[in-house]
Amino acid sequence: MKSSLLHLTTAALVCAAALIGYRVWYETVVSRSLVAASIREVMDAEGAERGAATAVNTTLEELVGVEAVAEKYFVSEREAPAFISDIERRGRALGAQVAVSSVAKTGTGPDAQLALAISVRGGFDEVLRTVGAIEYAPYGLSVSTLLLTQETRGVWRAEVRIVVTAAP
């Protein structure tokens, strides 16, 4: 009977040791699973941040291109001489004489504008085509006044005042 009791005690101790070992192993696996889940959440959050940052960078790159195109429609004070030369060149190409008599900046910031007084002289067709070419030039401009007079037979003069959106 001593042998049976010894076997039973040994079996109970082995079973208890196995249960204790299983419980320790289970707690270790659970705690490491929680750590792994926490790391996964951090990685997912960082991945989402990287994705958002990539989207922002892509949008900014697209906006740089759009901004470059939009800036072509505005004329800054330092670009005014080139703008005036462009207007005069358009007139010469159409056979008219273009003279800019005044340039003035009005407003500040986003409301800034350049006001120009222009005189166009030549034949009727040349004068009107030049005024049209100026009006439809690729700039943010509008014709505020236009006075068309005949100087002599076949020679016309247009006094034009335009307002150009100035670059901030």
Per-residue pLDDT tens for 72-117?
667 777 777 888 888 888 888 888 889 888 888 777 776 777 888 9
Cα separation, 150 vs 121, in Å, equals 10
Mean pLDDT confidence for 33-51: 85
DSSP letter (8 states) at residue 104: E
Per-residue pLDDT tens for 56-66?
888 888 887 77
Superfamily for domain range 77-165: Ribosomal protein S6/Translation elongation factor EF1B (3.30.70.60)
Q: Average per-residue pLDDT in the chain? A: 84
Per-residue pLDDT tens for 126-167?
899 988 888 888 777 888 899 998 888 888 999 999 888 776
Domain boundaries, the chain: 1-71, 77-165
CA dihedral 89, 95, 96, 99 (to 10 degrees): 30
